[in-house]
Amino acid sequence: MSTGRFRSGGRDKCRMHMVTWNVATAEPPEDITSLLQLDVQPPTDLYVIGLQEVSSSPVRFISDLLVEDSWSHVFMDTLAPRGFIKVTSVRMQGLLLLVFAKQVHLPYIRDIQTTYTRTGIFGYWGNKGGVSVRFSFYGHMVCFLNCHLAAHMNYALQRVDEFEYILETQDFDISESPNVLDHKVVFWFGDLNFRIADHGLHFLRSSINSGRLNLLWSKDQLLMMKKKEAFLQEFEEGPLNFKPTYKFARNSDTYDTSSPKTWFGFNGKKRKPAWTDRILWRIKPKDLPSEDDEKASTCTDDGQDEYPIMVTQDKYTSDMSYGVSDHKPVIATFSLELRKCFDTPMVHISPVGVWSADQDAVLTYTVQEDFMSSTWDWIGLYKVGFKSASDYETFVWVRENELPETNEVIQISVDKDEIPLLGGQYVLGYYSTNMQSILGLSSNFQILESKRAVMEGLVPEGINGINK
C-alpha cells in the first residue's frame, strides 16, 4: 500500500466500498458513477460488488461463461480507467461477486479462492445460495460471501437455516482458514430476503413517509433472528437509516404494493416494503485463536496487537437514483485498519533497456520470497489501465525447465513480434497459477513507437520522433 496518507498510529488504513444489488435480470445502466462514488475522498482502495438475479437463462448463462457478462463489463470499463483491476470474480447462475483493487495492492492480495453453494430448487439450480471469495490481504485472511436466500414473509427460519448450511458447506484449500468463519474478517451481504413482520401496510407507509424508520426495526426479521441465534449475533450491522429497498415499481421511487403472483394466480396479500438487501460483517472472536491470529500478532511492530485488523463502517445507505430493478442498491463503505504482515512483493520485475517492436526486448525477475511457484507461472505485458490479470497484450512463461532460487536474477527475452507497434505506457506482472494472483508488478514504463508502425501505415511519418 502506498500508505503515507493511510498510516494511523502504526497501522495502515484502507478504504473499501461495497455494493449489494438484486438487479432482477435487468441490463446495467449506462452510468454507475454515483453507485461507485468514484470521486469520494479519501479515495477507495477496494471495491466489492455482489449482485443477485443477474440474467441467467440457460442460453444467456452459457454465453456469459464464454465472455464476461454485461454487468462485469460495465464495472470493469468504469473502474479500469481509474486504476482498478478486477482481482477475481465468481458466478453461480444469477449470483455474481466481483472484487476490484487499486493496482498498487495487487501483489499483496494472495491465495485467492472462490466457491459457491446452491440452495434453491433442491440445490440443483443456482437461483438461490451463496458465492464467496477469500484471500489474504497484506497477510490478513478476509472472506466475502454474497447470498440470495429464500423469499417470502413466512420463511425467516428457512433463511437462517440456508445461511447456516452455506457456512457449513463452503470450504477452502487453505490450512489457516479452511472455512468461512475461520477468516479474520467475514463480510456477509446480498438479498437476504428478511421482511418486516406484523406491521400492516398502512403503518409501514406512514413510518417510511414520515422518516420514522426506527419504528420498524423491532419487527425486522433479521434483527429479530439475531436475538435468538448466537452465531448471528457475531455479525455486526450499521443502523437501517435508509428506506427499505424492496419492492419498487421499476424506474420510479414508488413502492410496488401490488399482490404477487404465485403458480396459482395472485395470493391476495399485497407486497410490503422490506430491508431485504443487507451488508453485515464479523470479526473473528478473540476466544477462537487460529494460526492466522498467531502469524498476524508476530508480524506487528510490538507483537502485542490484540486486533491485527479493525473494521469501521463509515457509511450504510441505499442509492434511490437507480430504477432498472425492483430493488434499490445498498452501499456500505468501510475503513480497514491493519498492521501489514509484509510490504515487499514476492517477485520483483523490471524491463531492461529500451522496449520497442523494432527489436527483441529483455526483462528480469527475482523471486524475493519463497512460494509454491510453478513452471505454469507467466509474466504478462499489460497496458496501463488494464482490467484484469487476463487482460494482457502478450505474455512469456517463466523459466520452463527449473524453478528459480530465491534472489536469483532471471532474464527472459520477449520476441519483438509480440511487442505493441504503437507503444505507450505499460507494466509487467508476474502471475502465480497456484496462488491465482499477481505477485509482482514492475513500475510503469514506456514502450516506444516502432518504425514498423510507420512503414505499415499505422501512424503518419514524423510522429513522436520516428523517421524524422
Confidence of residue 67 (pLDDT cuts 50, 70, 90): low
Hey, what's the torsion of the CAs at 383, 386, 390, 393, to 10 degrees? -20
Mean pLDDT of the chain: 89
* Joined grid coordinates for residue 33: 458513477
Per-residue pLDDT averaged across 344-359, rounded? 96
Query: Using 50, 70 and 90 to split pLDDT, how confident is the model at 292?
Result: low
Structural domains of the chain, ranges and CATH numbers in brackets: 12-338 (3.60.10.10), 347-463 (2.60.40.2840)
The cell for 357 is 517492436
Percent of the chain, pLDDT > 90? 77
**At CA 253, angle to CA 248 and CA 257, rounded to 5?**
35
User: What whole-number distance in Å separates Cα of residue 48 and Cα of residue 463?
Assistant: 42
The candidate with the shortest Cα–Cα distance to 129, out of 84, 172, 159, 86, is 159
C-alpha radius of gyration, the chain, whole number: 25
Write the single-letter amino acid at 275: W
Q: What is the mean pLDDT of residues 75-101?
A: 97
- Residue 342: which region, alpha, beta or left (left: phi > 0; alpha: psi -120 to 50)? beta
What per-residue confidence (pLDDT) applies to 66?
A: 56
pLDDT at 45 over 80: yes
- Let me know how long the chain is: 468
pLDDT beyond 70 at 127: yes
pLDDT band at 308 (very low <50, low <70, confident <90, very high): confident
pLDDT of residue 96: 97
Q: What is the pLDDT of residue 349?
A: 98
Instruction: Tell me the mean pLDDT in the region 165-180.
Output: 96
Q: How many CB atoms are located within 10 Å of the residue 286 CB?
A: 9
Check pLDDT > 50 for residue 118: yes
pLDDT band at 304; cut points 50, 70, 90 = very low
Q: What is the pTM of this model?
A: 0.91
- Contacts for 82 with CB less than 8 Å, ≥ 6 apart: 38
Output the pLDDT for position 300.
43
Q: Which residues, in sequence order, are bridge partners of residue 282?
A: 186
| Band of pLDDT at residue 453, cut at 50, 70 and 90 | confident
455 pLDDT band (50/70/90 cuts)?
Answer: confident
% of the chain beyond a pLDDT of 70 = 85
**C-alpha cell of residue 168:** 457449513
What is the arithmetic mean of pLDDT over 16-28?
97
Mean pLDDT over residues 102-125, rounded? 87
Tell which phi-psi region holds residue 142, choosing left (phi > 0), alpha (psi between -120 and 50) or beta. Answer: beta
User: 114: closest CA among 97, 127, 93, 126?
Assistant: 97
Describe the crossing of helices 156-169 and 221-228 by its angle, rounded to 10 degrees.
60
State the Cα torsion 48-52-53-56 to the nearest 10°.
Answer: 50
Is pLDDT of 446 > 60? yes
Q: With CA atoms as reference, report the closest residue to 88 among 108, 72, 71.
A: 72
Strands 445-448 and 355-356: parallel
* Average pLDDT for 106-126: 83
The answer to whether the beta carbons of residues 316 and 277 sit under 8 Å apart is: no
Instruction: Render 160-209 in DSSP notation, one character per residue.
Output: HHHHHHHHHH-B-S-SS--BGGGSSEEEEEEE----B-S--HHHHHHHHH
Residue 62 has pLDDT above 60, yes or no: no
**E strand map for 41-171:** 46-52, 84-92, 95-102, 109-118, 129-137, 140-148
Give 356's pLDDT tier (boundaries 50, 70, 90): very high
Give the mean pLDDT of 305-334: 92
CA pair distance 208, 197, nearest whole angstrom: 15
pLDDT for res 465:
43
Q: Which residue has the higher pLDDT, 428 or 304?
A: 428
Q: Which phi and psi angles does 203 have, rounded to 5°?
A: -65, -40
Find how far residue 176's CA is from the centre of its chain.
21
Across the range 307-316, mean pLDDT stands at 91
CB 250 within 8 A of CB 325: yes
Task: Provide the grid cell at 141.
Answer: 485472511
How many Cα neighbours within 13 Å face the side chain of 392? 18
